[in-house]
């Protein structure tokens, strides 16, 4: 009688590897989303019960009306004119505070544009080092 010897293959079966690899690729391609992951950083001051050292008269006040129009130190102004207005003031005092105060009904986009313009100042030779966006609670507590 002839005894058959079963031989175990010494190769790793790789025939299904391509299928698995492409399934993984398809999974990652379908689930990958290109989310917006960039924005403007805004450092918050330390919460303090003491009134801020900044006095209203020493700072530049940029108000944003509900329509999105700007009023800088009581004067209506276009966004593109703000840095030109700030330049001589910042040459005298480079740490002059610039306060952004949007109306409660002003669109958020208007505030973002003003903040963006001030941040761009560094690239345009008008670096605004001291930008403040006080909240209504802070204004009620400390504004004078």
Residues at the interface with another protein (CB under 8 A): 14, 17-18, 21-22, 24-25, 28-29, 31-33, 35-47, 64, 68-70, 77-80, 102-113, 115-117, 119-120, 133, 135-138
| Min dist. Cβ of residue 19 to another protein (A) | 10
Cβ burial of 131 (10 Å; 0-12, 13-18, 19+) is: middle
- Calpha distance 18→40 (Å, rounded): 44
Q: Which is nearer to another protein, 17 or 93 (by Cβ)?
A: 17
| Min dist. Cβ of residue 30 to another protein (A) | 10
| Min dist. Cβ of residue 13 to another protein (A) | 14
Q: Cα–Cα–Cα angle for 97, 100, 106, nearest 5°?
A: 175
- From the list 79, 129, 93, the residue with the least C-alpha distance to 71 is 79
Spatial contact of 65 and 101, defined as CB atoms under 8 Å apart: no
Q: Which is nearer to another protein, 70 or 90 (by Cβ)?
A: 70
Q: Which is nearer to another protein, 40 or 92 (by Cβ)?
A: 40
């Amino acid at each position: 009688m002839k005894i058959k010897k079963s031989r175990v293959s010494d190769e790793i079966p790789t025939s299904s590897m391509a299928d698995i690899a492409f399934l993984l690729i398809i999974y990652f391609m379908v689930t990958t989303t290109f989310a917006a992951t960039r924005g403007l950083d805004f450092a918050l001051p330390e919460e303090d019960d003491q009134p801020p050292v900044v006095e209203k008269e020493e700072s530049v006040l940029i108000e944003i009306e509900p329509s999105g129009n700007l009023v800088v130190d009581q004067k209506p102004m276009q966004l593109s004119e703000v840095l030109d207005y700030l330049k001589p003031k910042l040459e005298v005092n480079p740490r002059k505070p610039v306060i952004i105060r949007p109306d409660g009904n002003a669109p958020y986009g208007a505030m973002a544009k003003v903040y963006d313009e001030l941040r761009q100042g560094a690239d345009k030779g008008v670096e605004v080092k001291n930008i403040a966006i006080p909240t209504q609670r802070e204004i009620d507590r400390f504004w004078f």
